[in-house]
Chain A
Amino acid sequence: MAEADESAYRTFYDAYFDRLSRYLLVVTGGDEDAGHEALQAALVRVVRHIKVFPNDAVFWSWLTVLARSALSDQTRKRRRYLAFLDRFTQHAHVEHAAQGDDQPDAKLLALLGRSVAGLPPDERALVERKYFVRQSVREIAAELQTSEKAIESRLVRIRRKIKDTMLASLKHE
């Protein structure tokens, strides 16, 4: 990565992009836009300060520090007129979030479970067929006597619904 090798960055993205994205989604309390912005700033810092780390745990810890500092900086820029108060609250927020550095996915998975459980029965059944019974879209369409395209469209809407529910839950926590 220090030599700007594209394949190295591809490997890094495959391994850490989703993880870091989810982490920031939790830290920002479900603010997807803020999470994206912080993720972008964090990756810029990765490019600038990349170095050799002894193991994955240390590297992930470093990534979370970059992500939190990027989020803190961007929030401070947005609210410059309340810099002191904002820094204080962000510090408290980051400290709180830092306690769950190793469990962002656990939190999201818990929210996912709650969101799926809150779905109407027909939608929950469709999700269970697709993801837990591992039926193909064609099989589901055949059993429900509908088209694959219709099943795909329903799944897209349901996933969007689950995501919205999860983000709303994160904001209210």
Chain B
Amino acid sequence: MNDPADNERLLTDVLADEAGFREALFSETVRLARRRRRLRQARRATAAVAVLVGLAALVWQSLPPRGVVPQPTGKPYVVVRTQPLPETALVTTRRLSADRLVASVATASIVATPANSGQFQEIGDDELLALAAPRPVVLVRLGPHSEELVFVNPEDQKGFPLN
């Protein structure tokens, strides 16, 4: 009967790793564990930052908004206090003496017109042309009830004796 420890030693050597599988797997396992630890730490940090941001947002919302001047809570009117002016600042008036009065007289003349002054006589185109003759004139018709009398000689526009 062999010693169990001897059998175990032989079994270990028989099944011994020949290609470095154990060490390779160990390295891979530790690498994976470290990666998971980093991920776990990153998750914790992210959660902490999220909590801080949330708290900051809550605090920010609870503060009064900037740029708005708080309104005074006093009376809704303004008291204005007055005081009497000094004597030197007062201006007074008095009646003018009789010798300094100046009386005015009526100097305007009134011109009156007779009652029949508004009567006039309408003339026709031929009569108008006859009045201007022998000076050369042209009667220009501008519209149904609009005409213009044009003097051919500019000198005639200044006036001339009627016939």
A residues within 8 Å of B by Cβ? 1, 3-4, 6, 9-10, 13, 17-18, 21-22, 25, 36, 39-40, 43-44, 46-48, 105, 108-109, 112-113, 116, 127, 131-132, 134, 159, 162-163, 166
A131/B9 in contact, CB under 8 A = yes
The answer to whether B44 has its CB under 8 Å from any CB of chain A is no
The answer to whether B43 has its CB under 8 Å from any CB of chain A is no
Cα A116 to Cα B9 in complex, Å, equals: 14
Residues of B within 8 Å of A131, CB to CB, are: 6-7, 9-10, 13
The answer to whether B11 has its CB under 8 Å from any CB of chain A is yes
Contact of A112 among B11, B25, B26, B32 (CB under 8 A): B11
Q: Which 4 A-B pairs have the closest CB atoms?
A: A4-B33, A4-B37, A131-B10, A4-B34
Cα A39 to Cα B28 in complex, Å, equals: 12
Nearest residue, chain B, Cβ from A50: B33
Known A-B contacts A9-B33, A47-B32, A132-B3; the reply to A40 vs B25 at CB < 8 A is: yes
Residues of B within 8 Å of A162, CB to CB, are: 14
Known A-B contacts A9-B26, A112-B10; the reply to A47 vs B15 at CB < 8 A is: no
A21/B3 in contact, CB under 8 A = no
Instruction: Identify 10 residue pairs between A and B in the complex whose beta-carbon atoms are under 8 Å apart, listed by A's number.
Output: A4-B33, A6-B30, A13-B26, A25-B15, A40-B28, A131-B7, A131-B9, A131-B10, A131-B13, A132-B6
A3/B37 in contact, CB under 8 A = yes
Residues of A within 8 Å of B16, CB to CB, are: 159
The answer to whether B12 has its CB under 8 Å from any CB of chain A is yes
B residues within 8 Å of A by Cβ? 2-4, 6-16, 21-22, 25-26, 28-30, 32-34, 36-37
- Report the minimal beta-carbon distance from A106 to chain B, rounded to whole angstroms: 10
Cα A93 to Cα B78 in complex, Å, equals: 99
Cα A112 to Cα B13 in complex, Å, equals: 11
Cα A9 to Cα B23 in complex, Å, equals: 12
Known A-B contacts A4-B30, A17-B22; the reply to A48 vs B10 at CB < 8 A is: no
Nearest residue, chain B, Cβ from A164: B14
Cα A47 to Cα B4 in complex, Å, equals: 33
A-B contacts besides A109-B8, A132-B6, A134-B6, 12 pairs, CB < 8 Å: A4-B30, A6-B30, A9-B26, A9-B30, A40-B28, A112-B11, A131-B6, A131-B7, A131-B9, A159-B13, A163-B14, A166-B14
- Report the minimal beta-carbon distance from B93 to chain A, rounded to whole angstroms: 106
Residues of A within 8 Å of B15, CB to CB, are: 18, 21-22, 25, 108, 163
Question: Max chain A CB contacts within 10 Å: which of B14, B28, B37?
Answer: B14
Residues of B within 8 Å of A43, CB to CB, are: 25, 29
A109/B26 in contact, CB under 8 A = no
